[in-house]
Structure 1
Amino acid sequence: MKLALVGDIGGTNARFALWRDNQLESVQVLATADFPGVEQAIIAYLEGLGLAVGAVHAVCLACAGPVSGDLFVFTNNHWRLSRSAFCRDLQVDELLLINDFSAMALGMTRLQDHERVQVCPGTAEADRPAVVVGPGTGLGVGTLLGSAEAGWQALPGEGGHVDLPIGSPREAQLWQELYRLNGHIRAEDVLSGGGLLLLYRALCALDGHTQTLKSPAEITAAALAGDQVAGAVIDQFSCWLGRVAGNNVLSLGGRGGVYIVGGIVPRFAELFLRSGFAKSFAEKGPMSKYMVDVPVWLVTAEYPGLMGAGVALQQVLEHHDQEGNV
């Protein structure tokens, strides 16, 4: 019997898994730098499982960036993909390309209770959109609509590129330093791995501290060890994440709740839970009452993007089956 395959492809790593019986199997993570293209990476993945080209009949790949047309150019690595050539070379009948944060949003539908930590209490309204926000290499933003009965829908967007919001005189001062260092400041310029370092540089310049930390990992480690400057950077990062998440709730009517995903925040989860995130999230002037009872969770699941790619593929295959039975 032929199999389905799902992938979640980032700048550094490509995650692949088989999709069978609505579950992930044989998850592997491959470095994108090790392969000239996604086809070669998938062939290596299949060979590692003792499978030949043609063993997989359907593929869903979650990719960063807008997805349209035959040719897709990956935004964070050197790979390029032609839909027609991919299907021909890998003998695939069905190829579904979706935005990576559409996959991430769909992945929220399969979370287990132990894979999320509550940040803000509340009750999710089942008929309203849910917002998914994820600092990582960049800042991803997705929206989840629908239900298991009617079918899940994820709306792709580029919400990480909105302007960074300013909510206090202190943030206005920091924004000026950020602008001096970087020019135009998007939310992603601060709410990302590289953004953590940029924010550290700006805070040190504003407050007159000597810059001794050289990477996001060093900043996180120093903050966890009690360094006050690094701790202030983490807290401000969290506050700005709260403002951006709250803005998305207002823009989308996102009373279905907010999911904080990505690889950065779980690394300092305890500091995040004690930070100014919740206050900044709810601080919306006359609309602050709207934010009451909107739940927020920090997602700790290992492969939510892969799971979401599987959910997307499953819905397409089931739709095809229904059409075939009409």
Structure 2
Amino acid sequence: MTTYPRLLADIGGTNARFALQEAPGAAPAHILKLAAADHAGPGEAAQAYLRQVAEATGAPLATPRWAALAVATAVGEDRVAFTNSAWAFSRRGLQQQLGLDGLLVLNDFEALALSLPVLRGEQLRCEAGPPPAPQGTLAVVGPGTGLGVGAVVATRAGWVALPGEGGHVTLAAADDLEAALLKVVRREHPHVSAERLLSGIGLPLLYRGLGEVLGQTVDAGLDTAAIVTRGLDGSDALCGRTIDQFCALLGGVAGNAALTLGARGGVYIGGGIVPRFAERFFASAFRQRFEAKGRFEAYLQAIPTPLIVDTLAALSGAALAIEQAAGSA
């Protein structure tokens, strides 16, 4: 029995991206982005996606045989609840709802990590030349609605993903200013995780906290998009300082991930935020802070840090996850 077509999904706290893989080796097709808030859950969103594809192509409604959902939360047993979204579902219930022969649910950064070995060309931006051929251990750190961390390891059986929740590690200060910043943020959040500041939900908090530390007036109503826009166009110096501080803090977290995972093949920067200001990112203190690990500075200097500019890369990782589980039939 064929396992095609296969339904692929990359579901974050804000948007759900869907695609179909229609044959072995085929690239994800019919890619659409749906707002999570417009649907009761992933089952309803998937059904709406399939109807939209049928309407757009004039073809009969596709009936996926297998599906892989990359979700922005920790994945355990049957019940899955999103960290930064109201969505929650039962794996068994979702498989029955969609009439699937097989369903995989994996952490979104597990899926993104699985895509790393096949990312090429226009999917990546590097500060100095193309990245080396993927080998050993590769990691990915990505600020989006939240902050994801994942890795993939080359084994004799192929690439094996290492899912985790590294975005929730405790954020550390590297200097007196950051120590003061964390002291301010801890008044509101006793545990300041990396995600608390290095994410779409965290950037406004970083902006307000930095303003208090620097003694500058803040606009409490600014959201992430406005902070980025004002910071890049030069209309607000504090917004610009916030972007720079964001990059510096991200460098420290990425360097920690490299050391913890032994990711000598590269630490990739994913998520939807950093590609919005790629030039500023490459000119920032990110790389300096990535390498600033004392006696292991030389170790980190040899590790590339490519920027993933393809926001659909996790769909390829979801396709590989089904390939590993079900084969290519």
TM-score, normalised with respect to structure 2 = 0.90
CA distance in 1 between partners of 2:200 and 2:216 (Å): 21
User: Structure 2 counterpart of 1:165, which letter?
Assistant: A
1:42 and 2:49 correspond: no
Change (3 A) 1:174 1:73: closer
Among 64, 76, 90, the alignment partner of 2:84 is 76
CA distance in 2 between partners of 1:125 and 1:42 (Å): 35
Match of 1:25 in 2: 29
Alignment of 1:116-265 (within 5 A): 116-119=124-127, 124=132, 126-146=134-154, 150-212=157-219, 214-226=222-234, 227-265=236-274
User: Structure 1 counterpart of 2:21, which letter?
Assistant: W
% same residue: 42
How far 1:173 moved relative to its partner? 2.0
User: Structure 2 counterpart of 1:263, which letter?
Assistant: G
Q: Does the 8 A contact of 2:116 with 2:138 survive in 1?
A: no
Please give the secondary structure, in 2, of the residue aligned with 1:15: strand
How far 1:304 moved relative to its partner? 1.1
How far 1:66 moved relative to its partner? 2.1
CA distance in 2 between partners of 1:294 and 1:228 (Å): 32
How far 1:111 moved relative to its partner? 1.5
1:9 and 2:18 correspond: no
Please give the secondary structure, in 2, of the residue aligned with 1:68: coil
Change (3 A) 1:157 1:290: same
Ranges in structure 2 where 5+ consecutive residues have no aligned partner: none
Alignment of 1:86-125 (within 5 A): 86-119=94-127, 124=132
Among 47, 51, 55, the alignment partner of 2:63 is 55
TM-score, normalised with respect to structure 1 = 0.91
How far 1:104 moved relative to its partner? 1.0
Please give the secondary structure, in 1, of the residue aligned with 2:202: helix
RMSD after superposition: 2.1
Change (3 A) 1:126 1:11: closer
How far 1:86 moved relative to its partner? 2.4
Please give the secondary structure, in 2, of the residue aligned with 1:281: helix
How far 1:124 moved relative to its partner? 4.7
Change (3 A) 1:181 1:72: closer
CA distance in 1 between partners of 2:136 and 2:309 (Å): 23
Change (3 A) 1:85 1:310: same
How far 1:73 moved relative to its partner? 2.4
Q: Does the 8 A contact of 2:144 with 2:272 survive in 1?
A: yes
1:311 and 2:320 correspond: yes
Residue range with higher mean Cα deviation, 98-107 or 218-227 = 218-227
1:268 and 2:271 correspond: no
CA distance in 1 between partners of 2:134 and 2:272 (Å): 27
User: Structure 2 counterpart of 1:303, which letter?
Assistant: L
CA distance in 2 between partners of 1:86 and 1:170 (Å): 47
Runs (4 or more) in structure 1 with deviation over 3 Å come to: 51-54, 119-127
CA distance in 1 between partners of 2:288 and 2:323 (Å): 39
CA distance in 2 between partners of 1:314 and 1:30 (Å): 25
CA distance in 2 between partners of 1:316 and 1:72 (Å): 20
CA distance in 2 between partners of 1:306 and 1:277 (Å): 27
Q: Does the 8 A contact of 1:122 with 1:294 survive in 2?
A: no
How far 1:122 moved relative to its partner? 8.9
User: Structure 1 counterpart of 2:65, which letter?
Assistant: H
CA distance in 1 between partners of 2:62 and 2:309 (Å): 34
Residue range with higher mean Cα deviation, 157-166 or 15-24 = 15-24
CA distance in 2 between partners of 1:194 and 1:44 (Å): 27
How far 1:119 moved relative to its partner? 3.5
How far 1:121 moved relative to its partner? 6.8
CA distance in 2 between partners of 1:68 and 1:190 (Å): 26
Residue range with higher mean Cα deviation, 62-71 or 203-212 = 62-71
Change (3 A) 1:121 1:294: farther
CA distance in 1 between partners of 2:46 and 2:131 (Å): 41
Please list the CA deviations of residues 154-181 of structure 1 after superposition, one character each: whole Å capped at 9, or x if unmatched.
1111101111121112222222222234
User: Structure 2 counterpart of 1:176, which letter?
Assistant: K
Change (3 A) 1:298 1:4: same
CA distance in 2 between partners of 1:112 and 1:125 (Å): 10
Please give the secondary structure, in 1, of the residue aligned with 2:150: strand
Ranges in structure 1 where 5+ consecutive residues have no aligned partner: 322-326
User: Structure 1 counterpart of 2:201, which letter?
Assistant: G
CA distance in 2 between partners of 1:317 and 1:160 (Å): 30
How far 1:123 moved relative to its partner? 6.4
Change (3 A) 1:205 1:79: closer
